[in-house]
Structure 1
Amino acid sequence: MINHRVAAVSGGTSGIGYAVLETLVQADVKVSFSGRRTERIQQIAVEHNESRHRVEGVAADAVDEDHVDRLFEAANHAFGERPSAFVLCAGRGLPGSVTGSDASLWEELLRVNVLGVMRQLRACATFFKDTYRSASGDIRDIVVIGSTVGRTLSAGNPVYGATKFALHSLVESLRVELCEHSVRVSLIEPGFVKTEFQATAGYDMKWFNEIEQTQGPLLSAQDVATSIRFVLEQPPHVHIDDIRIRPTRQRA
């Protein structure tokens, strides 16, 4: 893959994050990745390190203050080099409206999708900015998974959508702050993606299956990962800063 020998993926054990990990490894990029499930991390390591050491996993929560530091140090220890690309996939969902969603879960949603994202972005941005060398021609990439509900109001999913509106604001402001340091900050806005995300977050699977029937085929995690690879492969003077990707038949 052009530009990067080592990358880090936050939330790389399932869904879009795992598809990104697989895509990077197939492009001969070494990857440090994080997730909360130790057994799943070990399984991924076994699957990908049979011939040579290509991945290194870290058990971490999205809101841990040392999340990014541990990811980058794990890469340095395993591969002798810190990442020059960071893909932030870790996050959680929550179904329902302001009056209909489970208010007891609001704080955790904000903690993961906003506070956790801010901590990760700050740590990664600080590292990339501090290691910037104007004469080297190097490029660094931060890619963040947002959502179409962070741009278009979702009447049935506004609490989760509010966290994505906040995330989109953070990503754009960080792009402006870092562009002079040759750090590209990119937002990926998927529409309906069929992964384990919906069931894990407690969405009504009957409703989701109806969506798939009327607006599918839905996106796969690999579809989103392919768009991220496209962003990372651009030459250093080209920045694809925002991609909105929907199923062809998705209306909203």
Structure 2
Amino acid sequence: MPDKSLCGAVALVTGASSGIGAATARRLAAEGAVVAMVAGPRDRLDRVADDISGMGGHGVAVAADVTDPGDAERAVQDTLDRFGRLDVLVNNAGIMLLGTALHTTIEEWDRMVSLNVSALLHVTHAAIPYLIDAASTAPRQVADIVNVSSTAGRFARPGCSVYNFTKFGLQGFTESLRQELLTEGVRVGVVEPGTMDTQLVNHLGDTTHQAARRQDSGIESLYAEDVAEAIRYIVTRERRVAVNEMLVRAGDQTW
């Protein structure tokens, strides 16, 4: 067995400019995968690519707004044009904008649905034919889709209604897609991180940001690298093993 389990594989990671996405790109590159990193801000993507290059891996930046279906398709096609295949898709791009229905704007709701749901659908739809092809031609004889959800896909809490909506929906989509692609050699799984040391809360307004931090007070949060390691574990199993769901909570988290 090769020293690096993803040698020869090509991975595409969305939301890869920071946080879980950047950590996942680094981790998959360390396993030998070539990683296409997709996000809006090109400068931050380039920094992650430089990190990967510095450790002897290969990562390329693909600047794209995956909420636009044409841009999402272009990001997938750019990966295919560069590397000729696609073995692993990690749908990580997302945003959390908390607040009650009374005090949240419809623009914030639309923004969450656009990035957490529509963008994931756009990229997945564009990638599926190439993942199926990779599963039939790769030495591993399998390809992988991993969707990054949240404990918010399992447990509803006040102030999270639309965020919960996007993540509960992601859980159902992932399970149905898993069943659809079983015979195609494409495994589909979901990772559900708990309390994170993440930039997600930086998108919140001051009052909501403070409330979120109070809620997490006393909890030693997960790092992005913890979730990246869970994703690495899922996509490096031998073909006979499918890890379809992984709940990763902070050790002190009660919900």
- The superposition leaves residues 143-187 of structure 1 with CA deviations (integer Å, 9 ceiling, x where unpaired) of 000111111111231111111111111111100100111100000
**113-122 vs 46-55, which deviates more?**
46-55
Report deviation, 1:224.
0.6
Query: Which residue does the alignment assign to 2:11?
Result: 7
- Secondary structure of 1:223's match? helix
Q: Please, what TM-score do these two structures have when normalized by structure 1?
A: 0.90
Q: Distance in 2 between matches of 1:162 and 1:251?
A: 21
Query: Which residue does the alignment assign to 2:125?
Result: 122
- The answer as to 2:142 corresponding to 1:139 is yes
- The answer as to 2:189 corresponding to 1:189 is no
Report deviation, 1:133.
2.8
Are 1:186 and 1:242, in contact at CA under 8 Å, matched by a contact in 2?
yes
- The answer as to 2:67 corresponding to 1:63 is yes
Structure 1: gaps (5+ residues): none
**How many residues were matched structurally?**
250
Letter in 2 for 1:61: D
Are 2:14 and 2:92, in contact at CA under 8 Å, matched by a contact in 1?
yes
Are 2:73 and 2:122, in contact at CA under 8 Å, matched by a contact in 1?
no
Q: Distance in 1 between matches of 2:143 and 2:72?
A: 15
Report deviation, 1:111.
1.7
Are 2:64 and 2:72, in contact at CA under 8 Å, matched by a contact in 1?
no
- The answer as to 2:174 corresponding to 1:159 is no
Quick one: structure 1 residues 64 and 104, their matched pair in 2 at CA, closer, same or farther if it must change by over 3 Å? Answer: closer
Q: Distance in 1 between matches of 2:172 and 2:107?
A: 25
Q: Distance in 2 between matches of 1:187 and 1:69?
A: 22
Are 2:222 and 2:249, in contact at CA under 8 Å, matched by a contact in 1?
yes
Report deviation, 1:48.
3.0
Letter in 2 for 1:124: A
Query: Which residue does the alignment assign to 1:175?
Result: 178
Are 2:30 and 2:57, in contact at CA under 8 Å, matched by a contact in 1?
no
Q: Choose between structure 1 and 2 for higher RCO, CA contacts under 8 A separated by at least 6 residues.
A: 1
Q: Distance in 2 between matches of 1:84 and 1:130?
A: 9
Percentage identity across aligned positions?
Answer: 28
Query: Which residue does the alignment assign to 2:223?
Result: 220
